[in-house]
Amino acid sequence: MNSTVGLSSRHKFAYTWPLAWGVAFAVVAFIWIGGDLWQWAVKAPKELTWKVEALGSCTSVRLCVTGFFKFMVSNEAYIFPWTFKEFTRFVAACIEFPYQIIRSFLASGFTIPLSGGESWQSPPISWLGLTVVLTAVAYRLRDWKLALMVFLCVAYLAVFGNWESAAITLSSIAVAVPIGIVFGALIGILGYRYEKFERAITPILDLMQTVPIFAYLVPVLFLFGFGPVSAVAATVIYAMPPMVRITMLALKTVPLEIKEFGKMVGCTKRQMTWRVLIPAAAPGLMVGVNQVIMLSLNMVIIASMIGAGGLGFDVLASLRRQAIGDGLEAGIAITLIAIVLDRLTQAWASRSPAPHHETKPTLLQRHKNLMLALLILVGTTAISFVAPFFAQWPEQFEISTGQFWNDLIKWININFFDELEAVKVFLLLNVLKPVKAFLLALPWPGVLLFLALAGLQLGGIRLAILVVSCASFILITGQWTKAMITVYLCGISVVIAAMIGITIGVIASRYPVLKRSVLVFIDTLQTLPSFVYLLPVVMLFRVGDFSAMVAVVLYALPPAVRYTLYGIQQISPSLIEAAKTSGCTKRQLLTKVQFRLAWPEIMLGVNQTVMFALSMLVITALVGTRDLGQEVYIALTKADTGRGLVAGLSVAFIAIITDRLISAAAKKRKQALGL
Amino acid sequence: MDSKPDPILSCSEVWKLFGRNAQQFLKENNNVTDDMLSENGLIGAVRDASIEVDEGEIFIIMGLSGSGKSTLLRCLARLIEPTSGQVMFEGENLLNHSEKQMIQIRRHKMGMVFQHFALMPHLTVLGNVAFPLEVQGIDRSERENRALEVIELVGLQGRESYYPRELSGGQQQRVGIARSLSVEPKIWFLDEPFSALDPLIRREMQDEFLRIQSVLNKTIVFITHDFNEAVRLADRIAIMKDGAIIQIGTPEELVINPADDYVEEFTNDLSRAKVLSAKTVMSEPEPDAQVGGRVSSSAKIQDLAEELIKSELPFHVVDKNDNVIGKLTRDAVVDVLVKQP
Ligand SMILES: Nc1ncnc2c1ncn2[C@@H]1O[C@H](COP(=O)(O)OP(=O)(O)OP(=O)(O)O)[C@@H](O)[C@H]1O
Ligand SMILES: [Mg+2]
């Protein structure tokens, strides 16, 4: 057109993107309308396969992965000087041995064979003794408030009849946590010492934190078989990455002067690491320890899918039986253990300094408390031979809320069935189904085109290449349809969660009182294991996409609220005042000032919501969705490594695509606002 | 003149440039200017610095913040590698030593005190002070005995089992001082050791420092940005600006003959009576004149002022061998006192 000639180049540029998007839409619409002519583009392609003599059975990405793992456990793969199989057996033994000992102490007691084929069964440590000791430890570390909290939490386990399961869960945690800490710290130290190593592991750590936990289970199961060893291994893999990161960070942030001091007194490299850096970085490292514990507890339920047993198994089993009460109780028990361990480690990390002593204490004096604790444990356990109360909380006094929850759900279902059903059907027909149909009908070249454009516009050519290659992986591994279902479920849930979350955030930011209770509420939501959300949802809405969506929305809500609150609060008060003095109404203030300035933070919150939604979505496969999560779940039941890993990676790639695009958008927006 | 003994520590033409390809840049360019540095994205932290530190002297490096003092000190201890130049310690070029040799030298011959103390938080006073010995592998009872000695030297006896967080700033720096002395170093580096302390404690610590030095007679490289502190403690002072050493001399020389406005700026804040000695202020000797008494040529005017002002008569200025070398009049002294800013 002639009229554009006179415009400045900046204006011309301003039309480039809308034009590009317009063309892209036109192309997609064209393919769509001429659907029959372009079969290959409209139908999701099958898995890409090839036939090469030299590669043998490796004819697709999926089969190659499976083949690789089969090869590894065959007797031909060597890790000097062992075969890989011997190596995994060795690792398994290293986990199994301490696990059995701790488990005997806590849960099952020792079986000691006697002459004449008989055996003697020792009791496990008395619940009463352990409760007393933990309470005392809490008191010693902090104050009576912490002691009371610990007491109530531990007593809950006994009174609600979760003691034995909790002891089994605790045994695998007690093995997984030290392994995670030690190896995480060692890898972190290596990363700190060798920059190249750090650069090599950083992307791996990134990926590990986006691959859904489920996907790990498949190869682990394949290597170690069903049982506690697999569970511990998977837990370690999941809980270790933050320890690595935190170790590197903590070592880097040791004050320069301390490092120089180490050099000046002539420390060797080894002395420098162990005598100077690690002690100086101890407070930072404690954060890592705490993280490992928390993440290990996050894993409890999932790990029970590959044989962890304990509380996780209880939750899963009640999910299958649809016994909401039992499931909730076990779920809460996991949360309580997490809280106790969290508070105790934090209290230990920040304990008041041991007062200096004038005289050198004797061994006994120094370990007085330890001796006392041991005495209590041994004593109560010994008494439990004769007094059953010491061995186990009497069954007739056990409290169970199972009946109450079941009745409640029944009552709701009887009285509100029509209303609930109406909501469900309405949403299904008017939102879920159409969106699903639309996404499934989108021709895949169009999706790739859109992604490429978005990448180009938001972050340039490198981002575009990254997102397109991630999407292509999904395409050539033949998972397009399932991925689209994942995107649809995730997308709808995120939109709903973001709308609710942002609204709550905005309202709460206005009223301090409300804000505090909202924060407490979302904190609680976040400590509950994700599985716990599934229980009531399934009982109210039965299995299916709708239940999955509700559970995902609940689980993904907290970050949206949190970031919105944070975003609005961090706007500088002077800006608000300026807006007020220039005569903004409350509404204008919100839409014109607060919302715009908080937008980058809110986008980051949405980003987090997406991540949460994806991780929950995989779990909802248990309630019958037909997406990538289901793929992983099926692979798990069949121990099909290739299938599981490929599907898991696909979920990770969806996460990476959204994460990178949203972060780039937030960054761009931030720059535009000059923040 | 008798020949001077070799300096124990010296450096010549030391450069330290931060940034990429610094070494390359220095090789290719001779007369480096500010513009050339910034064009290449380099920071000239130390530029062409040469100093000589004699055995047993307190050598002070001073300059404003960012003038490159710490960087120069770290080059001397080879904590950072100079971009070019050489550092001689006891007749050998430190920069040629291997990592192992450096560890040995640092273990036995160098001690350093840090501005923010750099104490290990998980060790007691005793543990901190014994740490350098522990690193050397000296066994427990021996290192603790040695540590107790230095702890007593810095006046912290009775606090051996305290943790750093239980001590005040001044006490913490005493621990830092004790720790750096526990290995009986040949050369003692102090990087603004008193800057993090408040003024009253700082004075107290300076006195303490002088007392310790009077006992130990170490060779000292001391950094400060406080000219008053420098004048109180120094045998000689090197003044740095933008990475370069502008002038080296005794406090008195700097006051009498500042090399440029920058140095003069420092000396302006100073009570001249504290710095100037009788030798500088005296006039031609009059051996036969009637005098009120004799003063040493190295005595500071501040210390003589009271006596001289009371007296009607001038004083003889005598050298070490009691030869009269000059005359000090009341007017001259009053002049010094009045000219104070
Ligand atoms: N590792 C580094 N990388 C880049 N520049 C540095 C580095 N260390 C120091 N510099 C720069 O070198 C210059 C001299 O720094 P230096 O720390 O030696 O100053 P200083 O005289 O000790 O100052 P202060 O009194 O604040 O301690 C400064 O401009 C500083 O920014
Ligand atoms: Mg400095």
ipTM of the complex: 0.90
- Min Cα–Cα distance to chain B from A667, Å: 27
Q: What's residue B341's pLDDT?
A: 46
Q: Quote the tokens at residue A272.
A: 């420098």
Query: Quick check: A7 pLDDT over 50?
Result: no
**CATH number, span A404-673:** 1.10.3720.10
User: Could you report the per-residue pLDDT of A530-579, keeping only the tens digit for each?
Assistant: 777 888 888 788 778 888 899 999 988 888 888 888 888 888 778 878 88
B273-338 has the same fold as B9-270: no
User: Could you report the per-residue pLDDT of A641-652, keeping only the tens digit for each?
Assistant: 888 888 888 988
Contact partners, residue A330, CB within 8 Å, separation at least 6? A162, A165, A311, A314, A315, A318
Please give the distance of CA A653 from its chain centroid, rounded to a whole number.
Answer: 16
Q: Residue A302's closest CA among A615, A638, A664?
A: A615
Which of A254, A256, A263, A264 to probe by mutation at the B interface, max B CB count within 10 Å? A264
Hey, whose CA ends up nearest to atom 22 of ligand 1?
Answer: B70
Interface contacts (A, B; CB < 8 Å): 67
B224 lines ligand 1 (CB under 6 A): no
Strands in A159-207 per DSSP E: none
Q: What's residue A8's pLDDT?
A: 45
Q: What's residue B187's pLDDT?
A: 94
Sign of the four-CA dihedral B153, B155, B160, B166: negative
* Cβ proximity of B187 and B221 under 8 Å: yes
CA-B195 nearest atom, ligand 1: 25
Cα–Cα distance for residue pair A414/A410, rounded to 1 Å: 6
- Min Cα–Cα distance to chain A from B110, Å: 7
B74 lines ligand 1 (CB under 6 A): no
Q: What's residue A366's pLDDT?
A: 67
User: Could you report the per-residue pLDDT of B18-38, keeping only the tens digit for each?
Assistant: 988 888 888 888 888 888 888
Question: Of residues A321 and B157, which shows the higher confidence score?
Answer: B157
Hey, whose CA ends up nearest to atom 16 of ligand 1?
Answer: B68
Domain A173-352: CATH class, spelled out = mainly alpha
Phi–psi pair at B323, nearest 5 degrees: -80, 140
A404-673 has the same fold as A173-352: yes
**Which among A255, A263, A358 has the least Cβ separation from residue B79?**
A263
Cα–Cα distance for residue pair A236/A172, rounded to 1 Å: 10
Homologous superfamily assigned to B273-338: CBS-domain (3.10.580.10)
Contact partners, residue A393, CB within 8 Å, separation at least 6? A127, A158, A159, A161, A163
B19 lines ligand 1 (CB under 6 A): no
Query: Quick check: A6 pLDDT over 60?
Result: no
Query: Quick check: B326 pLDDT over 70?
Result: yes
Question: Of residues A600 and A131, which shows the higher confidence score?
Answer: A131
Q: Residue B170's closest CA among B191, B132, B196?
A: B196
Give the start-to-end residue ranges of the domains of chain A.
127-159+368-398, 173-352, 404-673
Question: Of residues A401 and B341, which shows the higher confidence score?
Answer: A401
* Cβ proximity of B223 and B233 under 8 Å: no
Question: Of residues A519 and B190, which shows the higher confidence score?
Answer: B190
Give the start-to-end residue ranges of the domains of chain B.
9-270, 273-338
Query: Quick check: A11 pLDDT over 70?
Result: no
Q: What's residue A358's pLDDT?
A: 53
CA-B243 nearest atom, ligand 1: 14
Query: pTM to 2 decimals?
Result: 0.82
Q: What is the C-alpha radius of gyration for chain A, rounded to an integer number of angstroms?
A: 28
Query: Quick check: A205 pLDDT over 70?
Result: yes
Query: Quick check: A12 pLDDT over 70?
Result: no
- What is the band of A492 on the pLDDT scale with cuts at 50, 70, 90? very high
Average pLDDT score over chain A: 84
Cα–Cα distance for residue pair A530/A537, rounded to 1 Å: 12
Cα-Cα-Cα-Cα torsion A552, A556, A560, A562, nearest 10 degrees, comes to 150
- Residue A268 at interface with chain B, using a CB cutoff of 8 Å: yes
* Residue A108 DSSP label: I
- Does residue A314 sit in helix, strand or coil? helix
Query: Quick check: B42 pLDDT over 50?
Result: yes
- Does residue B262 sit in helix, strand or coil? helix
**CATH number, span B9-270:** 3.40.50.300
Of the listed ligands, the closest to the CA of B46 is: 1
User: Could you report the per-residue pLDDT of B72-108, keeping only the tens digit for each?
Assistant: 999 999 999 999 999 999 999 999 999 999 999 999 9
User: Could you report the per-residue pLDDT of A288-298, keeping only the tens digit for each?
Assistant: 898 899 889 88
Mean pLDDT of A232-239: 92
